[in-house]
Amino acid sequence: MTGSLPTTHDKFEKSCELLFNQLKPEEHLTVNLTGEEVDYLRFNKAQIRQATHVQDACLSLEFIKDKRSATAAVELHDLPAQSQDLEKLLTRLRSLAAQLPEDPYAVLPEKGESSHEKFEGRLPTQEEFVDSVLRTHAELDVVGIQQSGTSYRGVANSTGLRHWFETDGFATDYSIFHPSNGKAVKGTFAGKEWRPEEVSAKMNLHREVLGQLNREAIRLKPGHYRTYMEPAATADMIGMFSYRGVSEAAIRQGESALLSLFNRKKSLSDKFSLVEDFSAGLVPRFNESGELAPEQLSIIAQGQPQHTLISPRTAKEHNLVSNGATHGEGLRAAHMGAGKLVAQDALKALGTGVYISNLHYLNWSDVQGARVTGMTRYACMWVENGEFVAPISDMRFDESLFDLFGHKLESCTSATEHIPNVSSYGGRQLGGCSVPGVLVNDFTLTL
Amino acid sequence: MTQELKTILGSLKNPNAQWFSIRKMSEVMTTQVVRNGHPEANHIDDSTGYFIEAFVDGALGYAATSRSQTAALQQALDRATRNAQLTASLPVARLEREKVRPDAKGEYLGHQQKPFETVNMADIAEILTEASATARRSEKVVKSVAMASYGTRTTEIVSTSGAHTFQKISLCTGDIEAVAQDGGVIQKRTLGGLRGFSKQGGAELLDRNFFLQAAERVGEQALELLWAKECPTETLPLVVAADQMMLQIHESIGHPLELDRILGDERNYAGWSFVKPEDFGALQYGSPLLNVTFDPTVPEEFASYGFDEVGDTAKKEYLIQNGKLLRGLGGLESQSRLGLPGVANQRSSAWNRPPIDRMANINVEPGNSSFQDIISSIEDGIYVESNRSWSIDDYRNKFQFGCEFGKRIKNGELTETLRNPNYRGVTQSFWKNLTHVGTADTFAVYGTPYCGKGEPNQSVRVGHASPVCAFKDIEVFGGTQS
């Protein structure tokens, strides 16, 4: 992709060599790289809105000496032209750290197992995507974004540890709107191998759902409803566990919504299990310090707490053992356990109630009660006797995770679905989560 | 103004684009955080890169690179040109270059009394350490945080048709946080969670007395909340402090008025809008007391600038006047696509993102009611400060907000403190229930560093200023703590 220009990995290695060679005795340095070479193609009404190519590589430095630390992040431009600037940055961090107060929780770099992973894929060209999705389905009001390219993550420290993770990948995140009533079907494609036949098959399925959205929307009254959530909706709920939920630091600082779970004052349903599972290899296992997380870490098993996510810094502060969590102590590869409900039987099992395809804009409404509020979105339907009746008007919910995944959880589907992380703040995010659909009783709709 | 970009512009070969521009954006921000008296972060972020726009047959294409070598920039121009050609083959709208990328020339230097170079990180660390200690009013305060983030953003744009703008703004954000615990009750009070203190200005904003006074109040109120009554579940008059008004404005006025949302660009992510193109000039959005402006010219407000990133000159415009909707938040591209007037608001989050319609400073203009008049007019109601939770649907109708701190209003007076005050409503009926707008002495300037939108995602800084306002018949409720 870069012709004769050096690769991102080459530049990372050269930067590290340059920086580590400048270190003096008793000085410690950890270097992280986050980068990408990605095409973003934004579309609306099956036409192109904005096509952007991004080449980005950001280098982060953590300097420590005598328990004093300072950090910096800088875009990696071109070497050797930037060499002097990197040396100056290190000199600045050295000078700053000396002036700053001691940081008792600064974690010195450690030796460890190094890794190098590179995943190549078969990505669609921009033209191929435009042809197979936008032109082929031009009669559909499809809106969203296609992200496609190579992502880079690297860590190196002054003990000699190195990790490199480079992966090709694409993610198409889209909605198809009904021509007249504002309702929509939501979908994603993601992976390393673009298969046009899978795209066609999925688009045909969407057409069927669009047909079900023809009927006039039903306005539900606030109340408690038997509800089935598709995996995409479950994924949004599981996302809240990463929002200061399973973080050891948040628990210690009184800010975790799941404090009473991890203090063993409350539990969840024995049908609920949550694992941090890196076995799919979609995201790097290493954290910013270069520690490798275990391939699998049980967070909650049959409703009982097992492990929190502990970063090296939190471990040092509380005299614990780190489990390779990132600084933010959020889930990077969440996997919620499956159950026994066959997905094809979900409507029948629901009987009469609300079928939720997607949720929107979740936030804690009461942290200590683990209460979450948010909205229904897209193709949510009213179901009677196991049959779709009509779409519902958007409803607000307000529900505690202790109830939703506690006594209200009736069953989970027997297969999980991978919901890709399509976020691109700062750059294309990797991975996603694997979750089942869930059948719950008395789901609380408030407005 | 510099010559660097003009030199680069002249050095790039451009066989296929009819026009192109280069935007260089540099942002240098220092962030310092102290928790429970110990440093949590002392970080310098220095982000610089180049964004190239190429225009071909009525369409724009984009490419961004962190590399500065001519060869890399040439590659970026070639990619931008290919993207423009691709877009031109199936454009959502065909654009006229002269209309959507005017040849702006000028310089804008933002408000700043004292450059950040006049302070050092050790001095700021000392202030924050002291503030963290001050917020810890008792052992029941289990977490006390003081933080500041400050620095500058420089944006320079040149184009082949002669545009050349240079803008430099200084930014400062700060927060104090205290988490208090008594048995099973945990309460958190902040200065506003960054939304309480986000302004343009220089080192004069990193004022020791400001941080210490804020820390004392935040720590005291965190303790006060431990023993406060739970907010009742009732439908009552609600008085909203300016630091909560800012988010109410943001979510239920700012976002629904964005023209790119109305055009449907955001339907897959941020959402659509209940506002239709035909509503401009016709829709009674709220009470006749409601006057809302787009104003990127308030010097100390967080999102002030001289030009947006497509070269439109920034100026104040009324969005809503006497409750009637007049104008949307759309830059030159959206204005061209919709045939409606808009504002100078096409901005990007960073050097590697295209400019899209964003809020800048969206403000509710002061009214005629003093704070005392507002409170004394209410027999039984709730007063709320400082947002802690927000959620709204993708058409911007049904919202729910949680606040950190409340007071019961009884017989025209502020009485007992309430914890976990929440309220919910529907946008238009809420704004139509606006009964009082505070006078200028209740008006305060706030902002947020994090307004998310766009695909690829972009988080930008926006400003909001408002007086205290009162609303009738609002559904309020509390938490579930015992």
Q: Does A91 touch chain B (CB under 8 A)?
A: no
Exposure b/e, B153-192, CB count within 10 A at least 16 = b: bebbbbbbbebbbbbebbbbbbbbbbbbbeeebbbbbbbb
The whole-angstrom distance between A368's CA and the closest CA on chain B is 7
CA closest to B475 among chain A residues: A447
Q: Is the pLDDT of residue A2 over 50?
A: no
Q: What percent of chain B has pLDDT over 70?
A: 99
Contact between chains at B422 and A365 (C-beta distance less than 8 A): yes
- Which of A63, A237, A361 is most worth mutating to test chain B (most B CB atoms within 10 A of its CB)? A361
Residues of chain A positioned with their CB less than 8 A from the CB of B120: 99
How far is the C-alpha of B218 from the C-alpha of B213, rounded, in Å? 9
Contact between chains at A130 and B90 (C-beta distance less than 8 A): yes
In three-state secondary structure terms, A123 is coil
pLDDT at A4: 61
Contacts of A225 (CB under 8 A, 6+ apart): A353, A354, A442, A443, A445
Structure confidence at residue A62 as a pLDDT band (50, 70, 90):
very high
pLDDT at B2: 79
In three-state secondary structure terms, A433 is strand
Contact between chains at B391 and A374 (C-beta distance less than 8 A): yes
When CB atoms are compared, the residue of B90, B389, B390 closest to A47 is B90
The whole-angstrom distance between B85's CA and the closest CA on chain A is 10
Contacts of A1 (CB under 8 A, 6+ apart): A37, A149, A150
Q: Which residues face B150 on adjacent strands?
A: B30, B172
Structure confidence at residue B482 as a pLDDT band (50, 70, 90):
very low
Residue A62 contacts residue A69 (beta carbons within 8 Å): yes
Tens digits of per-residue pLDDT, A376-432? 999 999 999 999 999 999 999 999 999 999 999 999 999 999 999 999 999 999 999
Q: Is the pLDDT of residue A3 over 60?
A: no
- Using alpha carbons, select from A326, A256, A250, A251 the residue that is nearest to residue A286: A326
Tens digits of per-residue pLDDT, B282-306? 999 999 999 999 999 999 999 999 9
Q: Does A208 touch chain B (CB under 8 A)?
A: no
Tens digits of per-residue pLDDT, A117-151? 999 999 999 999 999 999 999 999 999 999 999 99
Kindly report the number of other CB atoms within 10 A of residue A80's CB atom. 9
Mean pLDDT of chain B: 97
CA closest to B88 among chain A residues: A48
Q: What is the helix, strand, coil percentage profile of chain B, to 5? A: 25, 40, 35
The whole-angstrom distance between A253's CA and the closest CA on chain B is 6
The whole-angstrom distance between A340's CA and the closest CA on chain B is 32
Pairing of strands A371-377, A358-366: antiparallel
Which tokens belong to A308? 């929190």
- Which of B233, B401, B455, B481 is most worth mutating to test chain A (most A CB atoms within 10 A of its CB)? B455
Tens digits of per-residue pLDDT, A242-291? 999 999 999 999 999 999 999 999 999 999 999 999 999 999 999 999 99
- Which of A425, A428, A429, A446 is most worth mutating to test chain B (most B CB atoms within 10 A of its CB)? A425
When CB atoms are compared, the residue of B143, B354, B390 closest to A363 is B390
Which tokens belong to B409? 């209003």
The complex's ipTM? 0.96
When CB atoms are compared, the residue of A69, A363, A396 closest to B398 is A396
Q: Is the pLDDT of residue A5 over 80?
A: no
Instruction: Tally C-beta pairs within 8 A across A and B.
Output: 269
pLDDT at B481: 45
How far is the C-alpha of A121 from the C-alpha of A194, rounded, in Å? 8
Q: Is the pLDDT of residue B201 over 60?
A: yes
Ordered domains of chain B (ranges, CATH): 4-227 (3.30.2290.10), 230-477 (no CATH)
CA closest to B186 among chain A residues: A254
Ordered domains of chain A (ranges, CATH): 8-212 (3.30.2290.10), 223-445 (no CATH)
Q: Does A143 touch chain B (CB under 8 A)?
A: yes
Tens digits of per-residue pLDDT, B76-135? 999 999 999 999 999 999 999 999 999 999 999 999 999 999 999 999 999 999 999 999
Q: What percent of chain A has pLDDT over 70?
A: 99
Structure confidence at residue A324 as a pLDDT band (50, 70, 90):
very high
Residues 341-370 on A with a CB inside 8 Å of B are 360-369
Q: Does A175 touch chain B (CB under 8 A)?
A: yes
